[in-house]
Chain A
Amino acid sequence: MTLHLVGHHHRTAAARTRPVLDVKDLTKVYGQGEATVHALRGVSLTVAAGDYVAIMGSSGSGKSTLMNILGCLDVPSTGTYHLDGVDVSRLDDARLALVRNRRIGFVFQSFNLIPRTSAVANVELPLAYAGIKPAERRRRALAALDMVGLAGRADHEPNQLSGGQQQRVAVARALVTEPALILADEPTGNLDSRSTEEVLGILDQLHAAGRTIVMITHETEVAARARRLVTLFDGRITTDVRQDGAR
């Protein structure tokens, strides 16, 4: 498994054509005996590089479980998961941490910035865990903040920023490692309509720049911004449609 991890990363020619995300027959079972819960009952999904996918579903449809597995925060009960060509469905904790650090950028509903820590330090954090030198880190973090239009707020702490600004800092943190996949879990769930528009605008830009984005949401108008809409019901994919994604 280590070989897989190291081997495939920068073969850019192959990476272009290979799907970023390739999930086959994913199931997830919680509990035992009578208390058994089948959160996922066989999900198969392929996402090509540069795609912008929205996953919708009501509460209890299994979308949070799918999100955790796609984000390498949890492992499936059965089925396989290839991320950027690497089989990550059976990795141990330490390797999953490495995959999360290098290949996935997270945007959470509740922003999840580290409190009492400046915006630029928050954005630097994944680079710090990746072992990148401070000067290089600072340069890349400032560039990412500039991209989300917050270069002027680099020294502000999270409690000095509005919700929309905090979420933009979180987006900057997600893209600063140049991950194969940006995973957004209800990114606009805690935002007002103006901030929602700002954040979705940035996601549109990232898509235009060729980033692969998977977004989980329950708001149809947010899901409408994506190029592909996957609907989840009772642990299975029920619809999977292309849409134009224009506003």
Chain B
Amino acid sequence: MSLLEILRFAGRGVAANKLRSALTMLGILIGVAAVILLVAVGNGSAQAVNRSIEALGTNTITVSSTARGGTTPSALTVDIAQSLHDPALAPDVRAVSPVVSSAPTMTHAGTEYPVAQFLGTHPTYFGSSNSPLAAGAAFTDQDVAQGRRVVVLGRTVATELFADTDPVGQQVTVGGALFTVVGVLAEKSSASGFADPDDLAVAPLTAVQQTITGYGPVNSILVEATGPDRVNAAQQQVTQILNQRLDLPAGTTATGRGGAGADAAPYRIQNAAQLLATRTETAQTFTVLLGTVAGISLLVGGIGITNIMLVTVTERTREIGIRKALGAPRRTILTQFLAEATMLSVLGGGLGVAAALIGSRFTIVGVQPVIVPSSVALALGVSVAIGLFFGSVPASRAAGLRPIDALRYE
């Protein structure tokens, strides 16, 4: 008897009780769809986090001051910042931008806007922080040297103050001083839950010190490494120079994570690559967790198949007895019931994949799911395996029935 005919018998068995078959398939459908979709959600959120971190620049190090007193000897100054740019002691540092930061109110023609970050820095900041300009031009080293009052606006600030008109060439008032807008930054992709990266304005360091913050220490120093793989080396060199300049013991480290101990350095170093690695790890844990929960629901679906096949075998004991009396070999009966279980799980699995593909077109809890192709193959493979594995107990029970017992069964 050919396999095709056994499959036809099995198909008839599946079709004989449509509601029951459909409900069994639903169990597998939900399991498979959950595995694919939840893994896709985890993957999608990991990608979103990566994009937002990459937007900050992956080969930068931020040194920020943790000293409380503004002018203590341990504070970061422009001098210290410039000392970090040392081809001999720090060969892996490409650029250094000291940054002072405040949050003043900006005014233009009666419109006021409290900007989140008004930064004073060097022109290298634009390259290091991965902030290209959309219109106009960045200020120059000459502007910094002369303390010219020019400013580059973030997209949000430009929209708030100027609405639809072109801000380049216009003037804004910041802390009583007039600044001329020379450029507008390109919009940064923003991940949900993060602060708006476009709510800032950038001006020459000297101009900001002169008009707003005064000539004190800087808030942070943005250091750009020569490449993403040189970030750790650059961080070591920067730490060494800082410790030397601030008269700290040689072993002192400060990496931002782990909280402040008693002998902590008066500054903190954050590294975008480290941040990226941590976030990626978190996202992976998240994905594994989601996948496991979904896997459990797939297992439950599989147990549903065993259950329903056991019921089917009991219900059809007499039919099995008739088939055996007519000379059906053990193998044929086994194959028929295994095929029925596998049909249920494969149909359920296929519909589950379809449901997941449709579901992935929608945004789920703020995340655009990204299907992982291997999860589709895995879920389908697992659903075939579930049919074979969970169908094997009922099928072997059917095949092992003695025809006289089966025929007598009522």
Interface residues of A (CB under 8 A from B): 68, 71, 73-74, 93-94, 97-102, 106, 108, 112-117, 125-126, 128-131, 173
Contacts and interface: CB of A to CB of B under 8 A. Distances in A.
Contacts of B322: 112-114
A113 B12 CA distance: 15
13 contacts: A68-B404, A93-B330, A97-B328, A97-B329, A97-B330, A101-B326, A101-B328, A102-B327, A126-B326, A128-B1, A128-B5, A129-B329, A130-B327
The 10 A-B pairs with the shortest beta carbon distances in the complex, nearest first, are A101-B327, A126-B326, A100-B327, A112-B322, A73-B404, A129-B327, A73-B403, A129-B328, A97-B327, A97-B329
Given A71-B325, A73-B325, A106-B325, A94 B318 contact: no
A71 B16 CA distance: 30
Which residue, of A102, A112, A126, has the highest number of chain B Cβ atoms within 10 A?
A112
A106 B12 contact: no
Given A115-B319, A128-B5, A100 B12 contact: no
Contacts of A68: 404
B223 to A, nearest CB: 78
B332 A129 contact: yes
A96 to B, nearest CB: 9
B407 A108 contact: yes
Interface string B184-221: 00000000000000000000000000000000000000
B149 interface: no
A100 B325 contact: yes
Interface in B307-326: 318-319, 321-326
Contacts of B332: 129
A130 B326 CA distance: 10
Contacts of B325: 71, 73, 100, 106, 112
Contacts of B330: 93-94, 97
Contacts of B326: 100-101, 106, 125-126, 129, 173
A108 B324 CA distance: 14
A32 B6 CA distance: 40
A130 B332 CA distance: 12
B80 to A, nearest CB: 88
A131 B327 CA distance: 11
Interface in B352-410: 402-404, 407
Nearest to B326: A126
Contacts of A102: 327
A215 to B, nearest CB: 17
A126 B327 contact: yes
Interface string B330-359: 101000000000000000000000000000
Contact of B323 (A93, A94, A99, A125): A125
Most chain A CB within 10 A, of B1, B319, B325, B326, is at B326
A100 B1 CA distance: 16
Given A71-B325, A106-B325, A173-B326, A131 B1 contact: yes
The SS class assigned to the B binding surface is helix
Given A129-B1, A129-B327, 20 more contacts: A68-B404, A71-B325, A73-B404, A74-B404, A98-B329, A99-B327, A101-B328, A102-B327, A112-B318, A112-B321, A112-B322, A112-B325, A112-B407, A114-B319, A125-B323, A125-B326, A129-B323, A129-B326, A129-B328, A129-B329
Contacts of B318: 112
Contacts of B404: 68, 73-74
B340 to A, nearest CB: 14
A114 B16 contact: no
Nearest to A115: B319
Nearest to B331: A94
Contacts of A94: 329-330
A93 B400 CA distance: 10
Interface in B22-77: none
Contacts of A126: 326-327
B37 to A, nearest CB: 37
Contacts of B319: 114-115
Pick the most buried of A68, A99, A106, A129: most chain B CB atoms within 10 A of its CB: A129
B323 A114 contact: yes
A19 to B, nearest CB: 23
A93 B332 CA distance: 13
B16 to A, nearest CB: 6
Contacts of A112: 318, 321-322, 325, 407
A71 B404 CA distance: 10
Contacts of B329: 94, 97-98, 129
A151 to B, nearest CB: 21
A98 B323 contact: no
A74 B325 CA distance: 11
Contacts of B1: 128-129, 131
A68 B407 CA distance: 11
Contacts of A106: 325-326
B327 A98 contact: yes
A30 to B, nearest CB: 12
A18 B318 CA distance: 35
A115 B316 CA distance: 10
A67 to B, nearest CB: 10
A97 B318 CA distance: 16
A97 B407 contact: no
A93 B21 CA distance: 32
A117 B12 contact: yes
Nearest to B324: A97
Contacts of A113: 322
Nearest to A74: B404
Contacts of B323: 114, 125, 129
A129 B6 CA distance: 10
Contacts of B327: 97-102, 126, 129-130
Most chain A beta-carbon neighbours within 10 Å: one of B1, B318, B322, B402 = B322
Nearest to B15: A116
A99 B327 CA distance: 7
Nearest to A125: B326
